[in-house]
Amino acid sequence: TGSATNVHLTIKIQSFREINERKMSYGIDIWMSQKWEDYRLKHNISKVITPLLGLGRPSNLIWVPDTVFINEINSKQHLVTVRNNKVDINSDGTVHLISRVTVVASCRMNFRFYPLDTQFCYLFIESFAYPDTYVDYNWRVGVIVEKYDLSQYTLEKVETFKNISKYESGNYTILQVMFRFKRGVEVSVIQVFFPIVSVVCVSMISLWLNKYSTSSRVALCVTTLLTLCTLWTRVNFSLPLVSYFKALDWYFLVSFVFILLVLVEYTIVVNVDTSREKKKVKNAKKEEKRNSLKNASLKETALDSARSRKASEAPGAPVNVKEVLKRKRKVKFDDYETGTSRIDRVARFLIPCSYFLYNIYFWFVFMDERHAYAAEHSRPIHK
């Protein structure tokens, strides 16, 4: 007729498929309803004409819009038991086409806040060949979501937009659907954060071990470091390689530093206390040498006195120098034998409290930035 054909769309989402972070894609099973007027199909029958298509295509009988999903990766139309298409032709020439389609579409995901992230996935619909001077798309009802059972995400919001895409061949009407998916914090805490915190806490147990248990303390720290690296690798394996740090990377990195800090703390304890104890031993040896000289002098004096005494007179009790030295050395080595360092006592309070404060900071900062990011990106994309 010279004017553009207005195609009115309604999408009913039957179910969501897997959201694949590694491939940056998501899947939906939908019923797509398209409605337009074709003056060539006007008739005088009082009832709606519904042709039996079987495995045939509607385009074999009438003109249909060449509607495509621009960001589709893979899609299929259901064929069991017949091709899932239904065409209704009204007497005024209004055509109503309903099709069941499964679409796997690309989704440009942002993992800066992973695993506290909110993802915005879009579905872009436009005509493949007809510019807006021939076919003009509009939302009729919009998007109806019937089921949204997702394992890790919650569907927070669904919005529809209409834009114009500019190409060399002309301007094309594009309809957009925005899905806002929020990752469940509970899943992240159980699967990610709890194991990390557990590993770090196990490494801090070494602060309460005897400072002479070198093999135990070092082995515990090294084991927890390797365990944390394994967890880090396993979590990142399910995600695509990105050029920026994720929130989880920062959390892993700081946790890694805390375990290293425990190991470094023990290195300082060994070096400082060993130096101090060597000094104590050296001073004890000097004291023992002085006492030995003094004891030798006392022995010589006692022997001289004994020789001058009468034979019938009972000898005096000998001086037990070894016992005296033993008691003095025991006093000197009291701190040495306890196996507790002053540095350990300070670290037992300082390191766990610092890690606890970091966790509070992490959750407050990233949760706040997560909400700000979600509010900022809830808008249409201009293609």
pLDDT digits (tens, 9 = 90+) for 314-363: 444 454 545 544 554 554 444 445 567 788 889 999 999 999 999 999 98
pLDDT of residue 61: 86
Q: Strands 5-20, 135-145: parallel, antiparallel or unpaired by DSSP?
A: parallel
At 381 the pLDDT is 63
Looking at residue 240, its pLDDT comes to 86
Tracing tokens 């400072």 back to the chain, one arrives at 211
Residues 270-303 have pLDDT tens digits of: 888 777 666 666 666 666 766 676 666 655 565 5
Task: Break the chain into its structural domains and give their ranges.
Answer: 7-183, 187-293+339-372
Q: What is the DSSP letter of 192?
A: I
Q: Let me know: does 145 contact 160? Beta carbons within 8 Å.
A: no
Q: Indicate left, alpha or beta for 191 from its phi (over 0: left) and psi (-120 to 50: alpha).
A: alpha
Q: Running DSSP on this structure, what letter comes out for residue 205? A: G
Would you say domain 7-183 falls under CATH 2.70.170.10? yes
Report the residue count for the chain: 383
Low-confidence ranges of the chain (pLDDT < 50): 310-317, 319, 321, 324-325, 328, 331-336
User: Among candidates 157, 228, 188, which has minimal Cα distance to 363?
Assistant: 188
- As a dihedral over the C-alpha atoms of residue 131, residue 135, residue 141, residue 142, rounded to 10 degrees, the angle is -20
Domain 187-293+339-372: which CATH number of 3.40.50.720, 3.40.50.300, 1.20.58.390, 3.30.420.40: 1.20.58.390
Is 24 within 8 Å of 30 (Cβ atoms)? no
Q: Is the pTM of this model over 0.95?
A: no
Supply the pLDDT for residue 319.
46
Q: What is the pLDDT of residue 295?
A: 63
For 219-239, b where at least 16 C-beta lie within 10 A, e where not — what string?
A: ebbeebbebbeebbeebbeeb
Q: One fold for both 7-183 and 187-293+339-372?
A: no
| pLDDT confidence of residue 333 | 46
- The pLDDT, as a whole number, for residue 303 is 57
Residue 348's φ and ψ, nearest 5 degrees, are: -60, -25
